[in-house]
Amino acid sequence: MKANFVKPYSSPEQIVQILKSRGMLIENEHKAASYLMNIGYHRLSAYIYPFYKSPKNDLSLKEGTKFEEVLTLYRFDKKLRILLFNEIEKIEIAIRSVLANIGCQELNDKYWITEAAYFANTDKFNQTLSIIDKELISSKEDYIEEFRQNFIETYPPAWMKTEVLSFGNLNYIYSNISKNQLMKHIAGYFGLKPQVFTSWLTVLANLRNMCCHHARVWNRNFMLNPAEPRKTVNAWIDTTTTDKKRIYYRLCIIRHFLASVSPNNNFNQKLSNLLADFPSIDITAMGFCRNWKEESLWK
**CA Rg, the chain, in Å?**
23
What pLDDT is recorded for position 163?
Answer: 94
Tens digits of residue pLDDT in 28-75? 999 999 999 999 999 999 999 999 999 888 899 999 999 999 999 999
Helical pair 247-261 and 67-107, crossing angle rounded to 10 deg: 40
What pLDDT is recorded for position 260?
Answer: 93
Q: Domain-by-domain residue ranges, the chain?
A: 12-65, 76-286
What pLDDT is recorded for position 233?
Answer: 81
Contacts of 297 (CB under 8 A, 6+ apart): 234, 235, 236, 237, 252, 255, 256
CB atoms within 10 A of CB 32: 22
**pTM for this structure?**
0.94
Tens digits of residue pLDDT in 181-237? 999 999 999 999 999 999 999 999 999 999 999 999 999 999 999 999 988 888 899
Contacts of 221 (CB under 8 A, 6+ apart): 245, 246
What pLDDT is recorded for position 79?
Answer: 98
Report the distance separating Cα 288 and Cα 272, nearest Å. Answer: 12
Contacts of 130 (CB under 8 A, 6+ apart): none
By three-state DSSP, how is residue 299 classified?
coil
- Beta-bridged to residue 119, according to DSSP, are 177
Nearest to 280 by CA among 68, 78, 39: 68
Among the residue ranges 10-24, 57-71, 120-134, 222-236, the one predicted with the least confidence is 222-236
What pLDDT is recorded for position 121?
Answer: 97
Report the distance separating Cα 69 and Cα 51, nearest Å. Answer: 9
At 55, the amino acid letter reads: P
Q: Is the peptide bond before 157 cis (omega within 30 degrees of 0)?
A: no
At 95, the amino acid letter reads: I
Please report, to the nearest 10 degrees, the dihedral formed by the alpha carbons of residues 190, 193, 195, 197 taken in order. Answer: -10
Provide the sign of the torsion angle of the four alpha carbons 69, 74, 75, 79, taken in this order. positive
DSSP assignments along 98-165, one per residue: HHHHHHHHHHT-TTGGG-GGGBS-HHHHHHHHHHHHHHHHH---HHHHHHHHH---SS--HHHHHHHS
Contact 53, 62 (CB under 8 A): yes
